[in-house]
Every structure is written in C-alpha cells, then in structure tokens.
Amino acid sequence: MQEEFALQDKDFRKIVKIVMDTAGIVLSEKKRAFIHGRLGRRLRALGLADFGEYCDLLDSRAGNDERHKLINAITTNHTSFFRETHHFDALTKIILPAIVGSNNGSKRLRIWSAGCSTGEEPYTIAMTLLGHQPSLAGWDIKILATDLDTNVIAHAAEGVYDPERVDSIPETYRRRYVTLQDGRAVMNDELCDLITFKHLNLLGEWPMSGPFDVIFCRNVVIYFDKPTQCRLFDRYADIMRPDGWLFIGHSESLLNVTDRFDLIGRTVYRRIK
C-alpha cells in the first residue's frame, strides 16, 4: 500500500488538522499508518492518484460530503451489548430507584447515549429500563442515541445484528427482546420505540434541550485533548438535571478535567454543580 499511495508530511498534517477542527479528535504521528490504511480505501474508491489530490478534494466545494466520509473512515467503533456490566448494575440497583423516587410526580425519564456507535449501548439501556418494571410502568421514557459516524447510526437504527453479537445479552433479556429472523438477530419494537437515533457532532450545536437524567459517554473522550474534554463535560453538566448521573469508559477519568461531578462508583459520576 505504501507504494500505491505516498502520504506526504504536508498531506498528513492537513488531514490531522481537518479531523481536529471537524471532530475534535487528536491524531498523533503514531496514527500515521492507521490513517494511511483507512484513507487508502477512500482514494481507491474515488480513483485518486495520491493523498495530495485527496486533500485538494477536501478543500474544494465538493469536499464537505467527503469530510463526513473521512471522519467515518478514521473513527473506531468497538462496542458490545452489556459492555462494562457494572454500569448496568449501578443503573438498576442505585440510579433507577433514585430516579423513581425523585421523578415520581412527572414520571419523566431522559437518557442520552453519546457516541452510541452501532447501537448496542442504547439497546442495552432500553432492556435495562424495561427490566425495571413495574416501577417505570406508565412513565414517559426516551433514550437519545447519537454518534458522529453516519454509517454506524444507520446500522444502529436498523436494529439488526449478526447472531453472535447478541451472545453477551443475558438469556432472560435475549428471549424477551431479541427475535431471530432469517439468520439475523432483530431488536424487538418494544426496545426500538424507546430510542431515537441521530447523527451529532459533540463539538457542534446540540439541538436537544434536556434536561437528561443520565448520560452515557463511554470511550469517547479518549480521542480528545484535555481542553476539549473540559468543554465537553461542562456542556454535559449544563444539559443534565442538577443531580444527574454520568457514565464514562473504563480507561477514562474526570480528574483534572471538571469539578462538576463527584465519583460515586467505578467510572460512575453524579453532577454536584
């Protein structure tokens, strides 16, 4: 592949800047081979001779659509159903009982899955909520699921997976909420009705008003630099209820990022200001 497309320093720097400006994702020199491999596929699909031509396309009037495809190409979407099970244990045993008590008058529950990838996380959240009946019977429940990558959002909205992907779903949930059809695992309507999937750049405008009771933002900010993380978590706090809950990934931390959340469990936080 190196012989097919040479990635010059100036083109690498150009692509890194576009990704940073567009999505806030920091790409170091260590990611050079990764970028070369991922974007080499785009050059072939477009019939371009080299990365210089690709950068010219990105700068052109027609480049806006390709910038979306660039971001889709370099973002990594690794996820699974019931990933980091301790989060869903906390949601079931601690957070939902607290919300049932505090929101009993309004019977309103709003959860945001930010960086939802191919949808396993929001579907897991939906199963957890439905499994918490009858406490939430008759409640107005909505789950917003967003991602920067338009391809994975389209996949998530379909709610159709290879059968081996659902092996991590506990059997009681799998029997109730997943149907096998023509060799594919299909999420049932009961789950789909709770979730709205939307494309969203976390660094751009947020059209939703909130307030959210719970936000999942797991394994997303590892791609951002510290100033971007600070701004993002401040925005999360602003759009949450005053004592809302936040879940982050196992390799992430809010230490020296924000003082608006208090750690209450393993990568589980609660807004304090």
Inside any domain, residue 2: no
- C-alpha dihedral (200, 202, 205, 210), degrees to nearest 10: 90
CB neighbours (10 Å) of residue 71? Answer: 18
Inside any domain, residue 79: no
**Domain match, 137 and 256 both:** yes
- Residue of 11, 42, 147, 270 marked active site: 147
**Distances from the Cα of 29 to the Cα of 13, 34, 42, 139, 225, angstroms:** 9, 10, 20, 49, 15
For the chain, the residue count is 273
Q: Is the pLDDT of residue 1 over 50?
A: no
Q: Report residue 3's pLDDT band, with 50, 70 and 90 as the boundaries.
A: low
Cα distance between residue 76 and residue 22, in whole Å: 16
The residue range of the domain holding 53 is: 9-74
**Distances from the Cα of 166 to the Cα of 139, 171, 179, 239, angstroms:** 27, 10, 10, 32
Catalytic (active site) residue 83 = no
Number of domains making up the chain: 2
**Domain match, 189 and 252 both:** yes
What is the average pLDDT value for the chain, to the nearest integer?
94
pTM summary value: 0.87
What is the per-residue pLDDT across 165-216, written as a single tens digit (0 to 9) for each? 999 999 999 999 999 999 999 999 999 999 999 999 999 999 999 999 999 9
Q: Is the pLDDT of residue 2 over 50?
A: no
Inside any domain, residue 80: no
**Domain match, 94 and 66 both:** no
For position 253, which CATH number holds? 3.40.50.150
- Residue of 38, 176, 184, 241 marked active site: 38
Share of the chain above pLDDT 90, in %: 84
Q: Is the pLDDT of residue 157 over 80?
A: yes
